[in-house]
Amino acid sequence: MVNWHMMRGVRFCMTAVALVVLSAALSAAEAESGLPTPVTTPAATPLVPEGERSFYPGYMHTTPGARIWVQNLHGDLWHYGTTQSVGDGTGMYVWLGPKGKPGFMCSMDTGVVRQEKDGKVTRDDFKEFRGISLWFKGDGSDGTAIFTTDYAGSKRRFRVPLKETRWHKVFMPWEKWQEPVTGPFWFLTFGLERRDDSKANWYIIDRVHLYREEKTEEVTPTPDTDPPGLLDARAFVSGREHITKTLTKLREKRPVRIVVAGDSIAVGAQLWYTARDYTDKETAWTYIFWQVLARRLKEHCGYGSVAAVVRSWDAKAKAWKDREDPRPPGELTVLGVATGGWKAGSGLEHIDEILGEKPDLVVWEYGANDVVYGNLDGYVKATGEAIDRMKAAGIEVVLQTLTPGASITPVHWLGGKSVMARGGEFSKETRRLAREKSCALADMERAFLARGAQFVGDLYADNVHPNHYGHEMLADVLDALLTDRDVRIWKYGPAAEKARRR
């Protein structure tokens, strides 16, 4: 698993230069591959009014007001990026469907700090600023938005009624929170309470800043529209002619064994929040993308039984172990042979474990740890050798491009590149390997970025690991590769529900 404390340095702000470069690269890639054109993204650097400050100014690169939202759920709340804003950016739409369970969600890394050096205070956000300000738009109901300063909702809370349907500015002074805010906090977390759960409730926020004085700037709100989703997942797959044996077996309902070889993403890292009371890990495992895929294949192809098993390396025992013992039988078997923190070289080192399973098909998911801890040459060499070994054993291979980490802020340990930009270099080589070695390709990078870089955080539980919506999108793309179904991606959130009804 990628180290969270190390990744904390990859803040959710963006640089305008990085976004322009990334957008240009994506546009060229789309023209080359015939992919759908992403929805136009709003300004990379929304306005910061005088006397206010965006979170993390000057960290690596100053980018006033820019942000990527990252999902972390407790309850049934959902959020997505929306073009509805106070005029120049991306708003965040918080939504709770009918009968849904209220809770808290979406941590925004703030960096509200008090710093000391040699016994002297060098920075104190609690003296320099009076609190947090934001623009707010409610749904007109009797519900309440709740803002807290940690993941699950601490006693430090500030409540805003949903009654007002017009954009208005809200000021949250430190001393007027339910429990006054007096010290540093990393996260600003969003929640929603309501009395009537017979219909959906929602609110939209924009320009979340620290403020010195209560001044309300003039704004020009954008139209009440949202970007639709529902892109054809088949636009992000290729090379089906290289996996014909597996496709034929699936169509004929013959026994099939599929192995997904990978790292912490394939293990389901950060899906803990989906478990009941955070303890029922087996519930969380069911959200892993290949487990979702296994259930879909069972239903679509008509298999009577399916065995979907997580198999990981036990470092203490120095042995591979199933999370379910004994392993359940199944006409269709899908195995996640994966271990957190591993690079492609680790997969190659343990390739005999994959070969020993005698799979019809292997999905190669490695790469995220190579981006942060490894190098491109090592990834390409290990992946190429692993493909050769698997093909020599008669195994068909699917390569996945990397899911783009939810940040485009350059970081020093990656040579001044962002995780997203550096990951793009690995994905480019993955596409080349797929072409040259006759493998099928599931282009997860382009699928995740198809709606624009500013929206990609909707699919993540942290900077690196997809949330359950991100895992469902991974399953969507593989579903489109392995079946003849018309699968659509970016179908998450109320905007997509509107598009689906049209």
Q: Check whether 9 has a pLDDT greater than 60.
A: no
Q: Which range is least confidently modeled, 30-44, 79-93, 153-167, 362-376?
A: 30-44
Q: Are residues 242 and 166 in the same domain?
A: no
At residue 420, the pLDDT reads 81
Q: Is 113 within a domain?
A: yes
User: Binning pLDDT at 50, 70 and 90, where does residue 280 land?
Assistant: low
At residue 462, the pLDDT reads 75
* CA distances for 349 relative to 83, 358, 391, 396, angstroms: 46, 17, 16, 19
Distance CA 487, CA 476 (A): 6
At residue 6, the pLDDT reads 33
In this structure, the number of other CB atoms found within 10 A of the CB of residue 139 comes to: 18
Q: Are residues 246 and 345 in the same domain?
A: yes
Q: Is 220 within a domain?
A: no
Task: Give the end of a domain, one of 153, 176, 211.
Answer: 211
Domain housing 442: 231-501
- Residue 134 near residue 170, CB atoms below 8 Å: yes
Closest-CA residue to 313 (of 350, 344, 282):
350
In this structure, the number of other CB atoms found within 10 A of the CB of residue 423 comes to: 24
CATH, residue 68:
2.60.120.260
- Half-sphere exposure of residue 201, counting CA atoms within 13 Å on the CB side? 26
User: Binning pLDDT at 50, 70 and 90, where does residue 237 land?
Assistant: very high
Read off the pLDDT of each residue in 399-426 and give the average, rounded to a whole number.
79
pLDDT by residue (tens digit) across 313-343?
A: 999 999 999 988 888 889 999 999 999 999 9
Closest-CA residue to 208 (of 129, 274, 281):
129
Domains in the chain, number? 2
- Residue 359 near residue 260, CB atoms below 8 Å: no
Looking at residue 489, its amino acid is I
At residue 434, the pLDDT reads 97
The larger pLDDT score, comparing residue 76 to residue 371, is at: 371
Does residue 326 have a cis bond before it (omega within 30 degrees)?
yes
Q: Is 430 within a domain?
A: yes
- Residue 151 near residue 229, CB atoms below 8 Å: no
Q: Is 7 within a domain?
A: no
The number of residues making up the chain comes to: 502
- Partners of 114 in beta bridges: 124
Read off the pLDDT of each residue in 195-208 and give the average, rounded to a whole number.
91
CATH, residue 353:
3.40.50.1110
Paired tokens of 151: 């993941």
SS3 for 7? helix
Q: Are residues 193 and 286 in the same domain?
A: no
Closest-CA residue to 439 (of 451, 453, 454, 429):
429
- Partners of 103 in beta bridges: 192
**Across the chain, how many H-helices and E-strands are there?**
15, 23
Distance CA 419, CA 424 (A): 8
* DSSP alpha helix (H) spans, 8-120: 16-33
Q: Check whether 171 has a pLDDT greater than 80.
A: yes
pTM of the model: 0.76
At residue 203, the pLDDT reads 94
At residue 377, the pLDDT reads 97
Q: Check whether 301 has a pLDDT greater than 80.
A: yes
Q: Check whether 311 has a pLDDT greater than 50.
A: yes
Q: Check whether 396 has a pLDDT greater than 70.
A: yes
User: Binning pLDDT at 50, 70 and 90, where does residue 419 land?
Assistant: confident
Paired tokens of 249: 């077996």
Task: Give the end of a domain, one of 159, 180, 211.
Answer: 211
At residue 22, the pLDDT reads 40
- Half-sphere exposure of residue 245, counting CA atoms within 13 Å on the CB side? 15
Task: Give the end of a domain, one of 154, 178, 211.
Answer: 211
Q: Is 92 within a domain?
A: yes
Q: Which range is least confidently modeled, 90-94, 203-207, 410-414?
A: 410-414
pLDDT by residue (tens digit) across 116-129?
A: 888 888 888 888 89
Read off the pLDDT of each residue in 437-463 and give the average, rounded to a whole number.
84
Q: Are residues 396 and 270 in the same domain?
A: yes
User: Binning pLDDT at 50, 70 and 90, where does residue 141 land?
Assistant: very high
- Half-sphere exposure of residue 336, counting CA atoms within 13 Å on the CB side? 28
Q: What percent of the chain lies above the pLDDT cut of 70?
A: 76
At residue 25, the pLDDT reads 45
Q: Are residues 457 and 336 in the same domain?
A: yes
User: Binning pLDDT at 50, 70 and 90, where does residue 96 land?
Assistant: confident
DSSP assignment, residue 86?
Answer: S
- Residue 227 near residue 80, CB atoms below 8 Å: no
User: Binning pLDDT at 50, 70 and 90, where does residue 97 land?
Assistant: confident
Q: Rounded mean pLDDT of the chain? A: 81
Could you tell me where the beta strands, DSSP code E, fall in 162-283? 168-173, 185-193, 201-211, 231-232, 237-238, 256-262
Q: Are residues 265 and 410 in the same domain?
A: yes
Q: Is 486 within a domain?
A: yes
Q: Are residues 204 and 242 in the same domain?
A: no
Strand 144-148 and strand 488-489: pairing?
A: unpaired
Q: Are residues 307 and 439 in the same domain?
A: yes
At residue 489, the pLDDT reads 86
Question: Integer distance in angstroms from the first to the last C-alpha of the chain?
Answer: 41
- Residue 380 near residue 425, CB atoms below 8 Å: no
DSSP assignment, residue 347?
Answer: H
* DSSP alpha helix (H) spans, 286-343: 289-301
Q: Are residues 318 and 423 in the same domain?
A: yes
Phi–psi pair at 94, nearest 5 degrees:
-100, 125
Q: Are residues 69 and 193 in the same domain?
A: yes
Q: Are residues 197 and 249 in the same domain?
A: no
Q: Are residues 253 and 362 in the same domain?
A: yes
Q: Is 221 within a domain?
A: no
